[in-house]
Structure 1
Amino acid sequence: MNKIKLNFINKSNDRSNSSIVIFQKNAATSYDQLAVAWKVIENCGEGDNHPFEYSYDMEVSAGDSHGNFTRKLGAFPGNRFEMIKDDTGDVLKLTKEYTSSPKDVEVVNHLNKGAISANIYRSGTLLAKKKVVAPGSKAVFQFLPKIFIGVTSEIQQGEVMNSAVIKDLNTQISLSGILSADIVMTGGSSNPYEFSLDNVVYA
């Protein structure tokens, strides 16, 4: 099982054509770290649905101070990557070393000079990033099998969200042991929005 099939269904009374944002928090850092809008569902009208996948497989890439971005490499818990300079320029490579925690993915900046950015992707979409990783430093990522979901506006997919927005998006949905499920949104109008799982198929 390397992915979960999810299906968002709008059964709410929303009349503002609100967007739905789904994201994860990096469990390897402090709670107040800024998160990335991993999935943004737009224009999903009453009774409409939006299928998507949550892949357990991730990818990692890095950007250097010259504006270059590396190709994406498959990333699994326990993997440590390093940004180095070889005969071709700045490249990201998987090392033979393991991370301090078997649940982490690390990106180490082994360049002599110049900060890098570290980016993690899930299902081909940006999931998290650390904008500045100085030489000799590293970015550490760890994600639990749960997502955060909420109603918002004016947030684009892949955008870093500020702490005020993250604080309001506090509905957690555990995906542990799930093969597929519907995520049903209800509420709206004068009632708070609620999200629940339905038609759950377990592994």
Structure 2
Amino acid sequence: MDIEITFINNSNDSNNSDIVIFQKNVATNFDSTAIAWKVIKNCGRNWTHQFTYPMNFQVAASDSYGNISDQQDAVNGQKWDVIRSNSGDVLNLDSESASSQNEVEVKNTLPTSSIDARIYKAGSLLASKTGVSPSEKAVFEFKPYIYVGVNAQVEEGEVINSAILSDINQKFSLLGLTTANLVMTGGGTGANATPFKFDLVPT
């Protein structure tokens, strides 16, 4: 079941900060590949922003010629292949399963040239693996957690560099949730300023 989340800005922020939300691909070195899945912008004090965290996700790939596949609905345990067909490069579901039922694999079976593999949620890029060489594969695994923080230097769909990533470190479990409020407090200026704080409250 999809999870409906309402961001509520109860902070004293006076800098119009951006709220960054992402997940970590625990099957790889996520510090170099974490993607800003959602960035909430211009949500003023006492305003709200609602978004959906869907349980399903999609897989896609692109090749070195700049061609991009459509997004295919995927589930954990699947193995996908980028192959060279009579019509060109295509993304196909393999009859074999992934090495783990908790992972999704995208293998490059092209004779030459690398591919990029991507995972999407709600139409937005969640994770990617670039430069997958022939005969190699990208592996994706996600735990039911989101990470939330404040930063003005990240755009939706972009890689979060390690310096910024260390500041976006509040972690929330999504287990058992159907609706919840993501409440931001803190902020301000001068001697009364406090660090930003987030709470994920079931509703």
Return the TM-score normalized by structure 2: 0.96
Partners in 1 of 2:80 and 2:157 — Cα distance? 22
In the TM superposition, residue 31 of structure 1 has moved relative to its aligned partner by: 4.7
Paired with 1:71 and 1:8, the residues of 2 have a C-alpha distance of 30
Q: For residue 146 of structure 1, what is the aligned residue in structure 2?
A: 145
Residue in 1 that maps onto 2:13: 14
**1: distance between equivalents of 2:172 and 2:59?**
24
Q: Deviations over 1:75-121 (max 9, x none)?
A: 10001100001010000001111111101000000000000000100
- Give the whole-Å Cα distance in 1 for the aligned partners of 2:76 and 2:187: 39
In structure 1, what is the Cα distance between the partners aligned to 2:33 and 2:59? 18
Q: Does the Cα contact within 8 Å between 1:34 and 1:163 map onto a contact in 2? A: no
Q: Following TM superposition, by how much is the alpha carbon of 1:154 offset from its aligned partner in structure 2, in angstroms?
A: 2.5
Q: TM-score, normalised by structure 1?
A: 0.96
**1:88 maps onto 2:91 in alignment:** no
Q: What does residue 4 of structure 2 align with?
A: 5
- Name the structure 2 match of 1:197: 200
> Does structure 1 conserve the Cα–Cα contact (< 8 Å) formed by 2:12 and 2:185?
yes
Q: What residue is the counterpart of 2:157 in the other structure?
A: 158
* Residue 30 of structure 1: how far off its partner (Å): 2.9
Identity %: 47
Unaligned 5+ runs, structure 2:
none
Partner of 1:49: 48
Match of 1:117 in 2: 116
Give the aligned partner of residue 29 of structure 1: 28
Is there any run of 5+ residues in structure 1 with no aligned partner, and where?
none
Output the CA distance in 1 between the equivalents of 2:170 and 2:151: 13
State the shift of 1:161 in Å: 1.0
Is this contact kept in 1: 2:77–2:97, CA < 8 A? yes
What SS class does the counterpart of residue 176 from structure 1 fall into? coil
Quick one: distance in 2 between partners of 1:106 and 1:122?
Answer: 16
SS of 1:32's partner is: helix
Supply the distance in 2 between the matched residues of 1:12 and 1:155 (Cα, whole angstroms): 20
Q: In the aligned structure 2, how far is the partner of 1:139 from the partner of 1:188?
A: 39
Report how far residue 124 of structure 1 moved. 1.1
SS at match of 1:168: coil
In structure 1, the partner of 2:99 is 100
